Chain A
Amino acid sequence: MRIPRIAALVAGVAAASLALAGCASSDNGGGGGSSSGVVNVAWGEPENPLIPANTNEVNGGQILTNIFAGLVYYKADGSWDYDAAESIESDDYKTWTIKLKPGQTFSDGTPVTSDSFVKAWQWAAADPELLNQWWFIDAIAFEGGTYDGGENTLALNVVDDTTFTVELAAPRADFPVALGYSVFVPLPESFFDDPDAFGDNPVGNGPYKIAEDGWVHGESLKLVPNESYNGPRKAENGGLNFVVYASQDAAYADLLSDNVDVIDTVPVSALATFKDDLGDRAVEQATAVFQSFTMNYNLAHFGDDEEGQLRRAAISHAINRQEITDVIFNGTRTPAEDFTSPVIAGFDPASIEGSDVLKYDPDLAVDLWNQANAISPWDGQFQIAYNADGGHQEWVDATANSIKNTLGIDAVGLPYPDFAGLRTEVNDRTIKSAFRTGWQFDFPSQANILGALYVTGSGSNDADYSNPEFDDLFRQGLASPTLEEQNEYFNQAQGVLFKDLPAIPLWYGAVTTGYSTLVDNVEFGWDSWPILYQITKAE
């Protein structure tokens, strides 16, 4: 999932003037009675049509999560439970049998069957033009999947209307966890007639459906509760109104005046003051985002040799993570202790060998750096590239300053005007500096980040890191039947990463946000998204 960059520009607030009616705060929440108010949510226009296999950024993802019900869903704490599925079982973690709850329908009245899933997945895997196509082939590794795609490329088998089987290429114990990602939702028959039209007005099987003419592009998207949904995520409010905001600052200004009820994050300019502004409506919690910067092994002085290893460790010891998170992020971020996230099951940095390479230790840093200089003297400037359109400038400059002050070398942040420019150089390996990297978990499992970033040849291995020892441990972990065994392997694998430092871990992301005086039961999930269906609001 794409890390949320600065909230997309452009706007229009289609919020009905509910603020005027805001006399009493709604306290009819709790578990029981549902409310009838429409919750206004700050949002950005999706960058792609609303087709599950073509939506890989948060704005589109928020809508899909609410209008579709996948086989499983994630709870706030990152654990999962069945949504459309009744059971997902396997004996060998390679062949999985999925049973659906009977009698489910899409909001257009057509039934949700095994076919709805199988056809949707096959369709997506066949078309390389879809942004999330890799999910089916790369991450999940269905038997027979190739990058070339093509018809019926996945080993899926329909048993009956509510049962189908999946054959994976390699055993994988965490398969059900991954199925909560929005790319695995079912699609109704009408989709296949005209995918383009569907992308503008999707029909789902989730707790909400798009209101008639509800999508005013560039301004707002309205969702109303879907009565035919009977799953565990029943809507507790009268609907959702997603309002496009040009900037986080604008959304925050509206939150302070109750024009919008839920925002995804407070702007950097309000980090120091938002707790005073919002009181107990301020929200601050850890989330599954991992921040780092990366040096490709082709970068001079940072190659796959002793010098490179020493320099990587020296740089890591030279960064005062605690001070940067305290000052730049007002203490809302937590310094990284491993390569995953504290909200993901299996997090246990204390047990990992070598994790103290992330400790700030100026003397050791200088010592290591000098050892590296003995091998080959340092020259030039240490640069950390970042995209200037994403609000990264402060922390990159602070990190560069920390390195500069500790090692006495010239270190600077190097802004690229836009994300495309940065990613192009990272992608074709022409970048001549370190560059910021980050990961927002797609599903709550360590396998997600470790597999995508550090396995030899994997999709987002921007450093071109390759260590057979790590690959081995990771594969064994994937095939382990229990979470405990799995995490044991993963933690050993992380021990290898601490030795090699293919990326320099910095800190974990956090949700720093708040909600208006008009809503109750606001909770933010492990993925930093607000859990919208359970919010209550008086009319």
Chain B
Amino acid sequence: MFWYIVRRILQGIPVFFGSTLIIFAMVFAMPGNPVLRMFGERTPNPAQVAALEAMYHLDQPFFVRYFLYLGDVVQGNLGYTFAGQSVNEILARTFPTTLRLALLAVIIQLGIGVTVGLISGLRKGSVFDGTALVISLLLISMPVFVLGFVMQWFFGIQLGIFRPTVGAGAPWADLILPAIVLAALNMAYVIRLTRASVLETAQQDFVRMAYGKGLTRRRVIPVHILRNSLIPVTTNLAADFGILIVGATVTEGIFNVPGVGNELFKAINRHDTPEIVSIVTILVIVYVLVNLFIDLLYGVLDPRIRYVK
């Protein structure tokens, strides 16, 4: 177990280099000169373009720029944006907010998704099952911007239950509405997956056995069925967490959440290479850590899965 964790963490090193290289190459491949964008509709003179390109190393070949960036990163400096802001500061500012938003969304997803999925699975074909299917389908077939605007308009402006946008310091109360919108996206996945695995687990011998030895449903459902059904759901959750952090761009835009998704979208538009690469690399690292955690959780959820070595 210990060595397994050590090995996984060591694997993080090539992941770091791999992802920075891939992302750097992707940004490099984007056509369009970010310097020209700074001048708006005006065409700068060649001397200005050359001076600015030299200033941001845009005139250097790919690997020179990559290693310049890596050199900075090794010294703990993730670079500066075109606006002269430190990427370290931007990340320190935006990540916590997004993490809180994602956490809230995961809690909502798990709370509602797993419960609904469990009941659906246990009462396959019932009215509840059908209704859950229809509602989750509606959520899935509604693009997030439509859902976001509708929720903001209805709950934020018409009813006034929530603030339509997130206020200073992003208090938890303001994050609830965007978290619901975010959670709705993957809710259907969680419901369908839970239902599918509950269905499957309910047919397993150990469940029959549990009933056979006279255990009540009250005990069998949480201990035997739910616990064993959570494996695919947990895996999905790891994937979800990644989606929630990076996929929050649209939601963060609608609700004005000062988070990482928004910052990333802005950076992509500006072709702000150090910022894009740093944000995405940290996303990769967070994602790797979450996955490690999830893999360890497998062992707890399903004793048959064991880590060798």
Direct contact of A and B (CB under 8 A): yes
Residues of A within 8 A of B30 (CB): 421
The answer, yes or no, to whether B166 is at the interface (CB within 8 Å) is yes
Cα separation A15 to B169 with both chains bound (whole Å)? 10
* Smallest CB separation, A80 vs chain B (Å): 22
The answer, yes or no, to whether A471 is at the interface (CB within 8 Å) is no
The answer, yes or no, to whether A350 is at the interface (CB within 8 Å) is no
| CB pair A259 B254 closer than 8 Å | no
Q: Of the candidates A15, A244, A459, which one forms a contact with B43 in the assembled complex, judged by CB atoms under 8 Å apart?
A: A459
Q: Choose, from A26-34, A125-133, A328-336, A494-502, the stretch at the interface.
A: A125-133
Q: Which residue of B lies closest to A438 (CB)?
A: B41
Residues of A within 8 A of B153 (CB): 253
| CB pair B258 A460 closer than 8 Å | no
Q: Of the candidates B84, B93, B157, which one forms a contact with A256 in the assembled complex, judged by CB atoms under 8 Å apart?
A: B157
Residues of B within 8 A of A345 (CB): none
Residues of B within 8 A of A147 (CB): 45, 47-48
Q: Of the candidates B32, B156, B167, which one forms a contact with A253 in the assembled complex, judged by CB atoms under 8 Å apart?
A: B156
Classify chain B's interface size: 35 or more
* Smallest CB separation, A508 vs chain B (Å): 16
Cα separation A14 to B152 with both chains bound (whole Å)? 19
Q: Please, could you name 29 A-B residue pairs with CB atoms under 8 Å apart, sorted by A?
A: A1-B40, A2-B39, A9-B263, A10-B266, A11-B165, A11-B166, A12-B256, A45-B83, A46-B83, A47-B82, A128-B50, A128-B52, A133-B48, A147-B45, A147-B47, A149-B47, A217-B89, A218-B263, A245-B165, A249-B254, A250-B256, A253-B152, A253-B157, A254-B256, A259-B165, A418-B269, A419-B37, A437-B41, A462-B43
| CB pair B34 A259 closer than 8 Å | no
The answer, yes or no, to whether B164 is at the interface (CB within 8 Å) is yes
Residues of B within 8 A of A16 (CB): 168
| CB pair B43 A460 closer than 8 Å | yes
Chain B residues with a Cβ under 8 A of chain A? 30-34, 36-45, 47-48, 50-52, 55, 82-85, 89-90, 93-94, 97, 149, 152-153, 156-157, 160, 163-170, 252-258, 262-263, 265-266, 268-271
Cα separation A134 to B41 with both chains bound (whole Å)? 14
Q: Of the candidates A12, A256, A461, which one forms a contact with B170 in the assembled complex, judged by CB atoms under 8 Å apart?
A: A12
Residues of B within 8 A of A48 (CB): 38, 82-84
Cα separation A329 to B38 with both chains bound (whole Å)? 27
The answer, yes or no, to whether A517 is at the interface (CB within 8 Å) is no
| CB pair B40 A148 closer than 8 Å | no
| CB pair A10 B38 closer than 8 Å | no
Q: Of the candidates B45, B256, B271, which one forms a contact with A420 in the assembled complex, judged by CB atoms under 8 Å apart?
A: B271
Classify chain A's interface size: 35 or more
Which secondary structure dominates chain A's binding surface?
Answer: loop
Cα separation A249 to B165 with both chains bound (whole Å)? 10
Cα separation A439 to B266 with both chains bound (whole Å)? 23
Residues of A within 8 A of B269 (CB): 9, 389, 418-420
Smallest CB-CB A-B distances: 9 pairs: A2-B40, A12-B258, A420-B32, A421-B32, A253-B164, A420-B37, A11-B256, A250-B256, A10-B262
Residues of A within 8 A of B55 (CB): 129
**Beyond A16-B168, A251-B256, 8 extra complex contacts between A and B, CB < 8 Å:** A12-B258, A134-B42, A196-B84, A259-B167, A420-B32, A421-B30, A424-B31, A427-B33
Residues of B within 8 A of A49 (CB): 83-84
* Smallest CB separation, A265 vs chain B (Å): 16
The answer, yes or no, to whether A299 is at the interface (CB within 8 Å) is no
Cα separation A247 to B33 with both chains bound (whole Å)? 24
Q: Which residue of B lies closest to A245 (CB)?
A: B256
Cα separation A48 to B48 with both chains bound (whole Å)? 16
Residues of A within 8 A of B164 (CB): 250, 253-254, 256-257, 259
The answer, yes or no, to whether A13 is at the interface (CB within 8 Å) is yes
Q: Of the candidates B82, B160, B168, B271, which one forms a contact with A13 in the assembled complex, judged by CB atoms under 8 Å apart?
A: B168
- Residues A2 and B41 in contact in the complex (CB < 8 Å), given A11-B257, A253-B157: yes
Cα separation A220 to B169 with both chains bound (whole Å)? 11
Cα separation A321 to B257 with both chains bound (whole Å)? 38
| CB pair A247 B258 closer than 8 Å | no
Q: Of the candidates B52, B90, B166, B168, which one forms a contact with A220 in the assembled complex, judged by CB atoms under 8 Å apart?
A: B168
Residues of B within 8 A of A2 (CB): 39-42
Residues of B within 8 A of A10 (CB): 94, 252, 258, 262-263, 265-266
The answer, yes or no, to whether A177 is at the interface (CB within 8 Å) is no
Within 8 A of B (CB), among A41-56: 45-49, 56
Residues of A within 8 A of B37 (CB): 418-420, 423
